[in-house]
A and B are shown apart, each in its own frame.
Chain A
Amino acid sequence: MQWKNVQLIYLREMRDQLRDRRTLCLIAVLPLLLYPLLGMSFFQLSQFLRTTAAEVCVVGAAEIAAEDWLPPLWQGAAFDAALFPRNAPRQASLQVVQVAELAEKSPDTASKTSEPLALAALAAGDVQVVVCFPPGFGSRLRLAREALMERSAAAAPANIPEPQIYFNSTNEKSRLAQLRVERVLQNWRQRVMRTNLQDSQVPLEAARPFGIQPQDVAAAPQRQAAMWSKVLPFFMFIWALTGAFYPAVDLCAGEKERGTLETLLTSPAQRREIVWGKLFTVMTFSMVTAVLNLASLGVTGTFVLAQFQSIESLSAGTGLLALPPASAVVWLLVALLPVAALFGALCLACAAFARSTKEGQYYLMPLLLVILPLMMLPMSPGVEFNLGHCLIPITGLVLLLRAVIEGQYWQALPFVVPVVGVTLGCCLLAIRWAEEQFQRESVLFGESERLDVGRWLVQLVRNRTATPSFAQAIFCVGAILVVQFFVNLALSAGAATRELEASFFTQTVLVSQVLCIALPALVMTWLFTSARKKTLLLDRLPAAGWVLMTALLAMLVRPLGMEFAEIILRIYPASTEITSRIGAFEEALALISNPWLLMLLLAALPAVCEEIAFRGFILSGLRRVGHKWWAIGLSAVAFGVVHPILQQQLAAAAVGLVLGYLAVQTGSLLLCILFHALYNGLGLLMSQQITADRVFQTPWCWILSDGDTSMFQPWVLAVCLIGTVGILGWLRGLPYQHTREEQLQEAREQQFAGA
């Protein structure tokens, strides 16, 4: 790839976009206008908010008026100011209307008694809340007070009728008023109690022996950071996506539509250079959009906040609102680069797939549907910053961003590598996907073909190729995951109803290996490929020397694998749920007394089934992409994903890399099966022998370390590492069989070699 060409294409695309009025409007003018306009309309709305007071109709006012010892509940048309201890402005939001006034307003209803009259007014929306003091309320209160003053429990009335608050929950204003009236009445009740206690010479502490004072230890800046850490990433990511999408559609689908893509394709610029040039353009627009929006929001926010404080009725509760700290902004900008790269590549691939701008626009919605939940997930309360969540693309990045904005650097540190790794991996995958779209003739020149699923399937089977296609390999991974999901559901339902026994365990292992993993791969091999032995790498027998080397490699890699698993567990400890699952599995293992059966079930069977699927069908399909390391990497990830426990997935993916390399370099599935069976078998043997009490009775205990940081002696690990590297080096020297796509790719990469 020549960076000079990438730069040329980038500069041209940038100039092209900047000359497009619509793009400029969307990217620059819209954010500059949007937030001031939003702020302005907010103030317009807040005017309406302030002018309306809820009307509260009081029925049975005489009950209270008759008792002059009661503290005042209202004065004129307002509740008593003393009942709003911390929020004086609220007093104006409630207006008291006597039921008699209602009767005066509408004389035709005079025949009704006061309560139905008030309720009718509530139903009509004339008043928002009705407060009814029942008959006898005042007199019973007085009796209770007198009983208290005389200290005679017998004289106290058994029950005082409760005042009713009527409201309409479908009316927002009514609901709000009800809450406020309730608070007013509660405060009034407090005052009644206080008056009673004072008058009967009981200290107030009798009713309220102590108070409770919540204390937030988070300093104000921290609280602000916590709030901004939730809002800002979401906000910025949305704008980064929007900013990437429209230029991407214009740069790919638009260029196809205008007929300039073929002009560019016949120039010496290679497809990869074109994709990178366009990607940088899309990224630039994505980042500029996000930054401009943030800045514009910040400026508008400063003004709005200043105004906020000046409006008394709105200022309560806004004490937390302040501009985000500078460190938050810096971290956001740091995260913006990978986010823009990821979104840019995704948008570019989608846009390259589209035949016209119109079709391109349609893809925004599905893209949002995939990305939005990933951005929302960190906001849900149960989502903690742990390894599992870290490995989810975008979610992990949002969580990491949140942690650093909140200043939790140390907690974030162990997760930097997985988050950056996953993000980088996704970026590369998306870019690769975009490149792939630019290579495909049907995408570049194809017009829409009538959709006909039946014919398409028939054609897939009838015109099957020697080895599976890339898409078929990916579909196979999907099929395995789906079958596994449903079988696991069924099995766990079965496990809940019956006792743990050996036969059930055997069935479970058989089903989960044969049905979930081997069967989908075998069926797809039979349906979609013509060279089946070649697809499953069974078309040749390995030499004896290779068999020995493979066996040796398995024995050398095993201790390294165990050590790696230990390290993973140490950095990312297993949750209690996982520990209990492992415990249950070990219990089930103990049920099987025949060691050979155990070896068959846990070493030989998975070796055969998983190798047929992952190094057979799937790897063969993935290799059609034309680059063996992409194929090996993707097959290793797929191999990891089908394992049930997260920590196990990481370890399995690492072994998957070795297995994939072995498969590509030797071209023999038998060797992979041998490696896999030995690897699993050795692991089983070791874990059976290394139990706490038997550990130093085994004949090979001398290779074990007695410290608790490592399982093996350091020299054992060193020997294994050197041996593994040596054998991998030997594998590298083997003349492996290139696929047609790999040959083509290599030839193309070397086309300038002699020049």
Chain B
Amino acid sequence: MIDNPLIETRALTKEYADLRGGPVTALDGLSFTVHAGEVFGLLGPNGAGKTTALRILSTVLQPTAGTARVAGFDCLTQPARVRHQIGFMSANTAVYDRMTAWEMVAYFGRLYGMEEEPLRARMELLFDRLQMQNIRDTLGAKMSTGMKQKVSIARAIVHDPPVLIFDEATSGLDVLVARALLDTVAELRDQGKCVVFSTHIMPEAERLCDRLAIMHEGKILAAGTLDALYQQYGPGNLEDIFFTLIRQGGRAYPRPHLGAASHSEGGTGPRPTPLVASKLESTS
């Protein structure tokens, strides 16, 4: 299991042009590996670079430097093959308003190249397991947030991919739905999937992740299993470790020009660099 990581990033760097402050480094030499059967947590404040990193893994963005490989395929040169191997779900991946739950999942199943019969069987299984039979014929526009989240999960795992990427997937969900989602993720890990899970909510990370990386300003400040982190930084909880690390990092949280303000929040304070902010944050 240790020998063949399903996800491997090496010195991943992403820069954006910015008229005011010159180029902004959103990711600064990010390296990590994730294996099958584990949940790897990316923990960090808004604007730490989590979404950028995961978008590069999902091939939606291209890295400025460094490499990212998923299941042996290069994210830059073999993006279509990478996308076959992953299920990606984030707060930004919405469901279609004018499609029913069944149509939506079937559409993506077909895009993943599944044949009609296996697709049908798989969808019946998924709709049962995720308790979605009652919203089978509901249009996306008429679904609650929880229903949409279920459809998104079904959409992401319909082709049974070895790698799953959840980017701030619990944001905006109530406790019940968030709990159900975390249970699903744990179940997927138990099935042997390789899961990357980004969040800024500490208890979630503590509950779910086998290994963690604490990110800030595009860099990994510390990484390892929870136990290892406790050993290294002293007992307590993750939040304490997090604040210790960020203080050591030498900057106050949050970084002013990459602050939490965004279109979804309409935050106050200095306006974030728009291009970067939209790419870096996805949380509300």
Contact = CB atoms under 8 A, between A and B. Distances in A.
By secondary structure, the A interface counts as: helix
Contacts of A462: 22
B97 interface: yes
A708 interface: no
Interface string B55-84: 000111110000000000100111111011
Nearest to B98: A19
Contacts of A449: 18-19, 274-275
Contact of B92 (A262, A450, A751): A262
A448 interface: yes
Given A19-B98, A262-B93, A266-B93, A755 B81 contact: yes
Nearest to A755: B81
Interface of B: 17-20, 22-23, 58-62, 73, 76-81, 83-84, 86, 88, 90, 92-99, 107-108, 110-113, 152, 155, 263, 274-275, 277-279
Contact of B111 (A5, A15, A751, A752): A5
A111 interface: no
B19 A452 contact: yes
A258 interface: yes
A266 B83 contact: yes
Contacts of B86: 266
B96 A260 contact: yes
B98 A446 contact: no
B274 A267 contact: no
By secondary structure, the B interface counts as: loop
Contact of A16 (B22, B99, B152, B263): B99
B98 A263 contact: no
A466 interface: no
A442 interface: yes
Contacts of A748: 77-80
A463 to B, nearest CB: 7
Contacts of A20: 98
A268 B17 contact: no
Contacts of B23: 463
Contacts of A688: none
Contact of A455 (B20, B73, B97): B20
Given A263-B93, A266-B60, A744-B77, 19 more contacts: A12-B99, A12-B107, A15-B98, A19-B98, A259-B92, A265-B58, A266-B83, A267-B108, A267-B112, A268-B111, A270-B79, A441-B279, A455-B19, A455-B20, A463-B17, A748-B77, A751-B78, A751-B80, A752-B81
| Most chain B CB within a 10 A radius of its CB, from A270, A446, A455 | A446
A49 interface: no
25 contacts: A8-B107, A9-B111, A15-B98, A20-B98, A258-B94, A259-B92, A259-B93, A259-B94, A260-B96, A262-B93, A263-B94, A265-B58, A267-B83, A268-B83, A268-B111, A268-B113, A270-B79, A446-B274, A447-B275, A449-B19, A450-B19, A459-B19, A462-B22, A748-B79, A752-B81
A268 B73 CA distance: 14
Nearest to B112: A268
Contacts of B97: 258
A747 interface: yes
A267 B111 contact: yes
Contact of A448 (B20, B88, B274): B274
B219 to A, nearest CB: 21
Contacts of B58: 265-266
A268 B84 contact: yes
A423 to B, nearest CB: 31
A459 B107 contact: no
A485 interface: no
A747 B80 CA distance: 11
A265 B90 CA distance: 12
